[in-house]
Structures are given as structure tokens and as C-alpha cells.
Amino acid sequence: MHKSLTYNYDSVAQEVVCAEDAINGLTAILDRLGGTRAMVICGPTILDKSDVVRRVQSSLGDCCVGLFSGVLPHSPVHTLGDAMELVAELKPDVLVSVGGGSTHDTTKGIATLLGEGGKIHDHQVIFEPPDKIIMPHLSKDRVPIIAVSTTMGAAELSRGAGFADRDLGRKVSVADPATIPRSIVIDGQALATTPMAILLSTAMGQLRVAIEAVYSVKHNPISDSLALGAISMLVENLPHCPELEIDRLLNTKTAAAMASLGSVGGGINTATAHHV
């Protein structure tokens, strides 16, 4: 007997604002979130090598109460401690993450600690062999996050974050759905400042995510539409990204976001990458 269509699709509640100069609309986004005290989070390289952070600060105006620029690759645990010292002083009601995956993960970690207290290890996902996963109970009280992404990756769309712990020799994984950014800002001018090697490699990573979604045993009509659409847009636009045409960059980033929105769980490639 033929089985009727049956599936679950778990979406995320957030807005995506895409334009050549989308950063200029940050005050309107802040108003929609009810925020008045925005703290900007970024890494030292994007602060020194581009004008993106300065554009964000200028757009926020007097609502920008401070900047933490200490984000490092792979979001080391110790940077959270440094960031939380500044958070305690500034008391922000909105976090603005400017950069790529490490910045977005660090910002999520700050939001988790603001809402839960303690150390990030207190809120990690625990795996007990062979197949037991222990998820901590977390509240939903979080400072909202605005993500200004400058790569083609889509960490801003994920429900989790990872923090490198040198002493443990591994990443501390936290799954806190309440830290998913409430607003994602896709700014063409900002994307154009990122080194092309980073744009291309992160876009290829999202192509992998889309392909895995299509071939997953969990795929469904909604995930198929998003993933196949993402693949089509990436194939069309990604080869032209080195030309730095803004429309190509915006279409590529949109396709990258669609890949994550259509994800139904990582495949073997993604699972392997997370452990290498």
C-alpha cells in the first residue's frame, strides 16, 4: 500500500534583510527588536582590514554602547570570559555580530551566558557512548542577536555553537535554539570586503550542505525545494563572485542561506568535518 506524504519540517523564526547597503537599516531593525543598547562583536582582522564594523557603528549611532573585538578563530572558550567582562560593564539589550562563523558562535555563547549564567561548559551537549546524547535544560530568556554576515557560511542560521577548549583538546558544543539570530543582515558591500578565498571556500561548504540535504533519508518537499534552489543559484552565481559584482555576491549568499534553511541534518561529510 502506498504511504501518503509524511514529514516534519522544523523552521526558524527570524527575518533576513538583504540589500547592497543593508547595514544602513540597522536602526530600524533595532526598533523592531525593542533594543536601545547595542554591543557590537567582531574579530580584530575585520576591524582593521575593512570598513564594515565602522559602518555598523555609524548606522547604530548613539544606540551603539560598545565594541568587543577579541573574537578569535574557532571561538576559544577564554574569549567568552573576556567578552562577559565587557558585557557586565555595558549591559547591552541587543548583540550585533559582525563577521563569520567564529564571531556568530561567540555571540551566541555570550547570549547563552547572559541568560543562564555560569560557564559555557555548564550548558554543553554531553555525548555518552555509544549513542546517548544529553541535552541540558535551557531557558528561552535571551538578549536578541543581529547577525551581519561577511562570509558565505551560514552559522547564523544554525541552532548550535562550538567553542574550542585547548585544555580539553576539543570543542564544547552548545545547542541553544534561543540564540538563533532574530535578524540576519546580508550586505553586498560588506561581502565585497571579504578575501575571495574565504568567500569561495565558505560557499562551497554550503553547496555541500545543500547536496547532503537532497540525498538525506530525511529529505522532504520543503527541504528539497530549498536545497535544489540553493544548488541552482550557487552553480549560476558562485563562478562569477571573483568579479565582485554586488548582485552576484548577494545571490550567492542568499543561496548559501537557503542551503542551511533546507538542511535536515548533517551527512557524513559534515560530521567528519566537525571532528577534523
pLDDT in tens, 209-257: 999 999 999 899 999 999 999 999 999 999 999 999 999 999 999 999 9
Pairing of strands 64-68, 126-128: unpaired
CB contact at 8 A, 88 and 62: no
Mean pLDDT over 3-28 rounds to 81
Mean pLDDT over 180-208 rounds to 96
Is pLDDT at 4 greater than 80 in this prediction? no
pLDDT in tens, 107-142: 999 999 999 999 999 999 998 888 898 999 999 899
Amino acid identity, position 87: V
pLDDT of residue 127: 86
pLDDT in tens, 56-95: 999 999 999 999 999 999 999 999 999 999 999 999 999 9
- Buried b / exposed e along 43-82 (16+ C-beta atoms within 10 A): beebbeebebbebbbebbeebbbbbbbbbbebbbbebbee
- Buried b / exposed e along 215-228 (16+ C-beta atoms within 10 A): ebeebbeebeebbb
pLDDT of residue 192: 97
Report in angstroms the alpha-carbon separations of 115 from 86, 105, 122, 131, 175: 16, 15, 13, 29, 14
pLDDT of residue 275: 54
Can you list the alpha helix ranges (DSSP code H) found in 17-61? 26-33, 44-49, 52-60
pLDDT of residue 265: 73
Is pLDDT at 274 greater than 60 in this prediction? no
Can you list the alpha helix ranges (DSSP code H) found in the chain? 26-33, 44-49, 52-60, 77-90, 101-116, 188-191, 196-215, 221-237, 246-261, 268-273
Confidence of residue 271 (pLDDT cuts 50, 70, 90): low
pTM value is 0.92
pLDDT of residue 270: 65
Amino acid identity, position 228: L
